[in-house]
């Protein structure tokens, strides 16, 4: 296999036939992620099978000046894995599998290319849980969830991916293997290096293996779908649920009428499990160990109804009912066809100010003709997915809508991305929530770890 | 006020009379922390009153080449705040107080010099809790707990300090103010810079303000002191408690007979709340919201007794009984006088291997005449405080004991410091748990943030 390019020939010799893809037909599906960002055809797709090979790949790329895009399952929503002109793709798809589980230490070690769901299932077989969970679990890889510090539906109890990682093995831009496969729950021996690589979207190093924290599997869950009068009531309900259930509260999802009506009535993506119109819909879930907590859950909810904190509600009484409740929330992943062209904002606003932020967005968007918004999100975390239709608008007009919304995010001291990451899609807007001194430190870190810009170039920073 | 030293004169002019101490009598108490490490008399103690002044101090120190030791409450146990020859002390003692609490967002903002207990009390007044807790809470400052990533007695539920910090304001070595006072539970907009400063012992920047996460106050706690046959039984009990109580388990402390007999019988520091001899003593606490959980706790414990997982036990039935149970564990802070000269190791070993590690330590220490060990620690986190008497041994012999223990730590893939930090005391031993590639990255980070070695020089690295 020769390519008339000495660098690619050297990589092909290193990786062997199964370790490199060169043909355009083979490479095409690696061009971008599910964000819809345009990606270029990779010059080649590198598929090392272990850390040593990946280290050699980076040494060769370093020597020949080749920029690489690390890729996991390509389920990212910000273009963080999209291939820019002249890039090679470095896929972790052959570095896959669970390596070890220690049920006493509550740890699991896996290769970065392992799908999230495989890790979840391996833990569950031992009566344990890896609590990070996102809709794309079957395709998203552990390495990708670490690179993007994935959030998801259980952050309110278990935190983001960062909180669930104990140790990492990472390959640096020059091929150095940085092994920090810490398994200890407490370790204050010098700087906690793994923190640098979590959430840095493959721009500082490539995660190859990870030690994850497990928790005992919960044995019972209580799920309810509630109709409330408005956001203020939802904030009160959140406070009440936190005081009553503390860390047993695992989900507190908010669906505004804009979203509810669209997925239940207009597009009919799901059947509404709750009748009547409400100012806000909340999906609330608690999880329990040992005992079901069902009585306490029902008593608390009864109390909330009596006090008119909640207008109406249903409690799931079977797995099927639990699924039909979650289906309304998860329909967000299926509305593309029905809703048409749109911007999917992933905003973070302090929960106490989220209600007024949404009102401000509505007012600002009224200036754009036929620009419709859906509102849904992880309300307990202040994470709003604001979905704004763009119709037949061109890039300039889309940019104007973004400019208005990200301007409000800046005024509200929010973040332009709560959980999806910056990638290419939001790099222009980073300065709306990070000041010059912060961006200066970030770029100095980037220069320290990747002085020649070989690791996922063009991501996070413009 | 002139000192015949232009740099000190400039600092005195900047800070005013109340902002600088120059006399040896005034400076003496700032020489070191409670680690017992020898500290030099500071050339001066700088006491800025706000971030802007602290930034100006660092600009002047940068210009004049003056190294500074940042100090909070000086309660550290590793010499991290000890003053080396020629250093100035930069005390945060005037930058104190809680700035804001947001009960909806569950956040608290405070100056770095605020005592931990002040923050805890401010949260409690609003029905909330700041869950980081350590014995020195009345003196230790928020800034110090952040710089050392303090652990303590509730890590098993709430994690180390790192997990409880949302945002930081930091002054860098050249005086730049890096403001990252993030209040959002989720924020993936670029690198998470605050992580660098948490646990880096003041060597990369000086924390001036912090945003902390609060949790709803727990309303009920159940505390028990249990006698077990051996470490294996304790591991089984830990697994059982985790499965039954999940995140409601807040403390799982282990006391070995060596420690128990010394504090209860020999030194009589406390009255034993449990009679009879056991192979291991466990202090276990659960915390609950809304309901007491008392019945469930008693039922679980009854089950453990029936299954002979536990030999004997007492459950606290009053606040006084809870205190008397905790007093046995907290006597570790009072044994200095009775036990004489000793080394206080702060080791971390994966919980499943901690039992065999202790046996190996005992075997190795048998080679040292009259060298007695006490064993106590946060068993649920694999954090062992191994206290080894040194009698009249000189530094060389003490070093030999350390060499043996830290050698075993390396073999067991443990850490030389689980929660106290490296400071000066453990910098020689850092390489027993961090490899060359890790230390190389740490020193490159240090060089990036502090190229002239002005921030807490001589700490962490040799």
pLDDT at residue A2, rounded to an integer: 66
Residues from chain A contacting residue B184 (CB–CB below 8 Å)? 348-350, 382, 414-415, 418
**Range A85-99 burial, b when 16+ CB lie within 10 A, else e:** eebbbbbbbbbbebe
A247–B191 C-beta distance less than 8 A: no
Residue B382 has pLDDT above 80, yes or no: yes
Residue B362 has pLDDT above 90, yes or no: yes
pLDDT tens for chain A, residues 1 to 462? 567 799 999 999 999 999 999 999 999 999 999 988 889 999 999 999 999 999 999 999 999 999 999 999 999 999 999 999 999 999 999 999 999 999 989 999 999 999 999 999 999 999 999 999 998 999 999 999 999 999 988 999 999 999 999 999 999 999 999 999 999 999 999 999 999 999 999 999 999 999 999 999 998 999 999 999 999 999 999 999 999 999 999 999 999 999 999 999 999 999 999 999 999 999 999 998 877 789 999 999 999 999 999 999 999 999 999 999 999 999 998 998 899 999 999 999 999 999 999 999 999 999 999 899 999 999 999 999 999 999 999 999 999 999 999 999 999 999 999 999 999 999 999 999 999 999 999 999 999 999 999 999 999 998
Decide if A254 touches B, using CB distance below 8 A: no
SS3 of residue B254 by DSSP: strand
pLDDT at residue A1, rounded to an integer: 56
Long-range contacts formed by A314-322: CB under 8 A, 24+ apart: A314/A224, A314/A225, A314/A273, A314/A274, A315/A222, A315/A223, A315/A224, A316/A222, A316/A223, A316/A224, A316/A225, A321/A223, A321/A273, A322/A221, A322/A223
Which alpha helices (H) appear in B170-210, and where do they start and end?
A: 194-197
Mean pLDDT of all residues belonging to chain B:
96
- Listing DSSP states for A130-142 in one string gives ---B-TTTTT-BH
Q: Which residues pair with B249 in a beta bridge?
A: B286
Q: What is the mean pLDDT of residues B193-219?
A: 97
SS3 of residue B311 by DSSP: coil
The number of residues in chain B equals 462
Report which of residues B154 and A198 the model is more confident about. Answer: A198
pLDDT in tens, B415-442: 999 999 999 999 999 999 999 999 999 9
Element (H, E) at A167: strand A165-171
pLDDT at residue B4, rounded to an integer: 80
Decide if B296 touches A, using CB distance below 8 A: yes
Q: Which residues pair with A373 in a beta bridge?
A: A388
Among the ranges given (A220-234, B1-15, B230-244, B378-392), the one the predictor scored with the smallest mean pLDDT: B1-15
Element (H, E) at B285: strand B280-288
A289–B300 C-beta distance less than 8 A: no
Q: Which of residues 145-164 of B touch A (CB under 8 A)?
A: 148-149, 151, 155-157, 159-160, 162-163
Q: Which of A146, A151, A140, A150 is nearest to A166 (CA)?
A: A146
The number of residues in chain A equals 462
Residue B133 has pLDDT above 60, yes or no: yes
pLDDT at residue B349, rounded to an integer: 97
d(CA B5, CA B14): 14
pLDDT at residue B1, rounded to an integer: 57
Q: What Cα–Cα distance (Å) separates residue A7 from each residue in A43, A58, A340? A: 11, 12, 43
Decide if A218 touches B, using CB distance below 8 A: yes
Residue B3 has pLDDT above 90, yes or no: no
3-state secondary structure A280-296: EEEEEEEEECCCCCHHH
B350–A184 C-beta distance less than 8 A: yes
Report the complex ipTM: 0.96
Tokens of B460: 């962490």
pLDDT at residue A162, rounded to an integer: 98
pLDDT at residue B53, rounded to an integer: 98
Domain architecture of chain A: domains with CATH? 1-217 (3.30.465.10), 220-333 (3.30.70.2190), 340-420 (3.30.70.2740)
* N-term to C-term CA, chain B: 37
Q: Within a 13 Å sphere around the CA of B225, how many CA atoms are in the beta-carbon half?
A: 22
Decide if B448 touches A, using CB distance below 8 A: yes
Confidence class of residue B230 from pLDDT cuts 50, 70 and 90? very high
d(CA B77, CA B425): 9
d(CA A170, CA B112): 33
Decide if B220 touches A, using CB distance below 8 A: no
pLDDT in tens, B323-335: 999 999 999 989 9
B198–A188 C-beta distance less than 8 A: no
pLDDT at residue B293, rounded to an integer: 86
């Amino acid at each position: 296999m020769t390519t008339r390019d000495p660098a690619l020939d050297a990589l092909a010799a290193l990786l062997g036939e199964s370790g490199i893809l060169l043909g355009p037909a083979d490479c095409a599906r690696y061009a971008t992620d599910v964000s819809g960002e345009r990606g270029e055809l990779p010059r080649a797709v590198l598929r090392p099978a272990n850390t040593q090979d990946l280290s050699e790949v980076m040494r060769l790329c370093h020597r020949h000046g080749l920029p690489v895009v690390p890729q996991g399952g390509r389920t990212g929503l910000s273009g963080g894995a999209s291939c820019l002109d002249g890039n090679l793709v470095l896929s972790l798809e052959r570095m896959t599998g669970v390596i070890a589980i220690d049920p006493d230490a509550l740890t699991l070690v896996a290769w970065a290319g392992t799908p999230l769901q495989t890790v979840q299932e391996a833990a569950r077989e031992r009566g344990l849980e890896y609590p990070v969970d996102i809709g794309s679990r079957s395709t998203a890889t552990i390495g990708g969830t670490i690179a993007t510090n994935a959030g998801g539906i259980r952050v309110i109890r278990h935190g983001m991916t960062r909180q669930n990682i104990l140790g990492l093995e990472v390959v640096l831009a020059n091929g150095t293997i940085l092994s920090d496969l810490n398994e200890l729950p407490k370790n204050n021996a010098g700087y906690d290096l793994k923190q640098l690589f979590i959430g840095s979207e493959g721009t500082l190093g490539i995660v190859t293996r990870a030690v994850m924290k497990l928790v005992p599997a919960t044995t019972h869950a209580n799920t309810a779908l509630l109709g409330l009068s408005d956001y203020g009531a939802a904030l009160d309900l959140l406070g009440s649920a936190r005081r009553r259930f503390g860390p047993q509260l695992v989900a507190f999802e908010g669906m505004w009428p804009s979203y509810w009506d669209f997925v239940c009535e207009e597009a009919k993506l799901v059947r509404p499990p709750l009748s009547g119109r409400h100012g806000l819909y909340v999906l609330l879930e608690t999880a329990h160990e040992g005992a079901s907590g069902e009585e306490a859950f029902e008593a608390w909810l009864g109390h909330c109804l009596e006090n008119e904190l909640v207008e109406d509600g249903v409690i799931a009484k079977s797995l099927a009912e639990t699924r039909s409740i979650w289906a309304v929330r998860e329909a967000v992943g299926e509305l593309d066809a029905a809703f048409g062209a749109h911007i999917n904002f992933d905003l973070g606003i302090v929960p106490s100010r989220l209600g007024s932020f949404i009102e401000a967005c509505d007012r600002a968007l009224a200036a754009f003709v036929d620009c419709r918004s859906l509102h849904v999100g992880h309300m307990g975390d202040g994470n709003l997915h604001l979905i704004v239709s763009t119709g037949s608008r061109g890039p300039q007009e889309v940019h104007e809508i973004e400019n208005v919304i990200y301007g409000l995010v800046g005024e509200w001291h929010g973040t332009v991305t709560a959980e999806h990451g910056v990638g290419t899609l939001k790099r222009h807007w980073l300065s709306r929530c990070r000041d010059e001194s912060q961006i200066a430190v970030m770029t100095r870190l980037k220069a320290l770890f990747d002085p020649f810009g070989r690791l996922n170039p063009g991501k996070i920073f413009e």
